[in-house]
Amino acid sequence: RIAYVNGEYLPLEQASVSVMDRGFLFADGIYEVAAVLGGRLVDNAGHLARLERSLSEIGIANPHPVEEWVRIETELVSRNGVTEGLVYLQVTRGVAERDFTFPKDTPTTVVAFTQAKTITDNPLAETGAKVITVPDIRWQRRDIKSVALLAQVLAKQQAAEAGAAEAFMVEDGSITEGSSSTAFIVTKEGTIITRPLSNALLPGITRRAVIALAAEFDLKLEERLFSVEELHDAAEAFYTSASAFVMPVVSVDGKVLGDGRPGPVARRLRELYFTFAEARD
């Protein structure tokens, strides 16, 4: 596998950064993940715009204009022969003597790599995913796609140990989002609900596309808080992310939703999203 590190394309085994990198020492950095489908990047402009925003929110200058990012991503996809999978990008505040305050004039560290991954024929989408709910123990700027992911690592591990694919995180009785996804429910009346954007959650690029698709295809959707009880009582639930696309949820905290199979709204949105993704880069 070929990775990108600060301007160079290297075999992954030779790709490395300093132990003094602030990404390693402080999680002082930002990342971004875009899907590759049919060898093409999906909704990549949205991902690069979010990268720009996340970097700006923590005072790191974006090291590359959009065109250069696209060149790096495209080069990696091509060199690695990825037809389906992900491109991962990471920018940190760079290598400096360990000190909390920002170093002066330190170049950023830029790392990128691809992961081959089955998106189209994901068996989980056929059976539907189990999810658990966990307390949201993260910091208060979850709108920034920071590499500080310890709370998500713990949540996902807890889910895995419970035989679940995802953990939905709960704050003040309401779902914020999944550990690596945006959470949605469909009420018994057929309304799709997802939490409105704020500092409490990441502005999902897939979320945005799904909201637009719901509007285009006359599916009723409301952006509002929803509680753990509403999730447990929902007709359907699903989650969205660049890697999962639209993933139907069939049980929550061991309680089966509907008939225990992917629901019609989630399945429809998954199909609509695939059509969108094939056309959109």
Binding site for ligand PLP (CB under 6 A): 33, 177, 180-182, 202, 204-207, 240-242
Q: Respond yes or no: is residue 145 known to be catalytic.
A: yes
The tokens for 218 are 């006359």
Q: Between 108 and 180, whose beta carbon lies closer to ligand PLP?
A: 180
DSSP assignment letter at 142: T
CB of 50 to ligand PLP, least distance (A): 7
Q: Between 143 and 233, whose beta carbon lies closer to ligand PLP?
A: 143
Handedness of CA 152, 112, 129, 172 (dihedral sign): positive
- Of the residues 104, 117, 130, 145, only one is catalytic, namely 145
| Region of 27 on the Ramachandran plot (φ > 0 left; ψ -120 to 50 alpha; else beta) | left
Q: Between 96 and 155, whose beta carbon lies closer to ligand PLP?
A: 155
CB of 270 to ligand PLP, least distance (A): 14
- Listed in sequence order, the DSSP H helices in the chain are 22-26, 44-57, 66-79, 123-127, 150-161, 205-216, 228-233, 264-279
CB of 215 to ligand PLP, least distance (A): 17
CB of 246 to ligand PLP, least distance (A): 10
d(CA 84, CA 244): 12
Q: Between 47 and 267, whose beta carbon lies closer to ligand PLP?
A: 47
For the chain, the 3-state helix, strand and coil shares in percent, each to the nearest 5, are: 30, 30, 40
Q: Which residues are catalytic?
A: 145
